[in-house]
Amino acid sequence: MKVAALDLGTNSFLLLIQEKDKSGKIKTLHDESVIVRLGEGLQSSGQISEAALKRAEDCFKSFKKTMDQFHLEKVQAVTTAAARDASNAKTFLNLCGQYQIPVVILSGDEEARLSFSGALPDQASGKYLLIDIGGGSTEYVVGTKEKVLFSHSISHGAVKLTEKFIQHQPVPELEISQLTKQIHINSEKTWSEVLAFAPEKLIAVAGTPTAIAAAKIGGFDAEKINGMIMDQAELKKWLDLFASTSIQQKKDQYGLGARADVIFAGTVILYESLKRLGLKQMIISTKGIRYGLAHKLFNDL
């Protein structure tokens, strides 16, 4: 039994193909991430741009070739903030259909719950907080292995905040101050609600934490990054480094590629969350929505 789970995010498109054998063991056959930047310019225009749609189509062509190599029982995609916010979302959904990719637009809470399901370790015990920083939204989920206790989606992410507040890199103090202030305004109610549940551990998923981890070890290696622990003090060092370097330096010196221009805003969201919630460290996960979706697909078959 093989399934494909696609996470079509504001910044990245991800394709996961997994197989479940008769004993119930699940094996990952393919796991791929492509920076598409679907939400580029959405903040100001209210629409997914023609250039972004072209990048999406190019990605779909590649994903379709990959999926056709496997005999899949089920293919399912979910899309998130960009499709929720765009006035021309139907154009994007029609494009998915052209490549035989069935897609559902998730609400913020649905997005949060799938991400939690996908990222929670198999042997998890105790109460976890998951933070999923996307391009257009950020999800907070508190729960245990047995159930989700709280989830909320905030309508800001690394791409959206960069486009609104960051005009220069290195980043001037005024832009840092304005960005940080807005994150606190948007997040304070959610942070207070999270604190009421007193989570014991934090899992950070999506491109911001995994890109920082890849910069630390000199390249992306999922096995080394998944489960990596980084403390608040080390995260602050990366935040200061991203604030003090140009986009080109972030690409050349730290291998951040297409994420170089938005990594600072994403790191601010992450650091301010840890600081406000009194959490000294985070567990970095390479998993998330696509893994939660694949799990659901296997259960539904």
pLDDT tens digits, one per residue of 22-66: 898 999 999 999 999 998 888 788 899 999 999 999 999 999 999
Average pLDDT, the chain: 93
Tokens coding 32: 């791929």
HSE-CB of 256 using CA atoms within 13 angstroms: 27
Helix 263-277 × helix 232-243 angle, to 10°: 150
In degrees and rounded to multiples of 5, residue 158 shows phi and psi of -65, -40
Q: Which residues contact 237 (CB under 8 A, 6 or more apart)?
A: none
- pLDDT score recorded for residue 60: 97
Quick one: what percent of the chain has pLDDT higher than 70?
A: 100
Distance CA 56, CA 77 (A): 13
Pick 122-284's CATH classification: 3.30.420.150, 1.10.579.10, 3.40.1260.10, 3.30.870.10.
3.30.420.150
- pTM for the full predicted model: 0.85
Q: Which residues pair with 78 in a beta bridge?
A: 7, 104
Cβ atoms of 11 and 134 closer than 8 Å: yes
Give the per-residue pLDDT at 117.
Answer: 86
Domain 2-108+293-300, CATH among 3.30.420.40, 3.90.550.10, 3.40.50.300, 3.40.50.620: 3.30.420.40
CATH 3.30.420.40 boundaries in the chain: 2-108+293-300
- The two beta strands, 74-79 and 2-8, are parallel
Is the predicted pLDDT of residue 82 greater than 80, yes or no?
Answer: no
Q: Please say if the pLDDT value at position 233 is more than 90.
A: yes
How large is the average pLDDT for residues 211-220?
95
- Nearest in space to 11 (alpha carbons), one of 95, 70, 77, 81: 81
3-state secondary structure of 78: strand
Which of the four pLDDT bands, split at 50, 70 and 90, describes residue 262? very high
Spatial CA neighbour of 154 closest among 193, 117, 126, 104: 193
Q: Confidence band (pLDDT; 50, 70, 90) for 80?
A: confident
Confidence class of residue 146 from pLDDT cuts 50, 70 and 90? confident
Instruction: Check residue 176 and give its pLDDT.
Output: 98
Residue 109 phi, psi (nearest 5) = -70, -40
Ranges for all domains in the chain classified under CATH 3.30.420.150: 122-284
For residue 126, name the pLDDT band (cuts at 50, 70, 90): confident
Tell me the C-alpha to C-alpha distance, in Å, between residue 14 and each of 56, 113, 217, 220. Answer: 12, 17, 22, 15
In which residue are the tokens 């729960």 written?
143
Beta 281-284 vs 74-79: how paired, if at all? unpaired
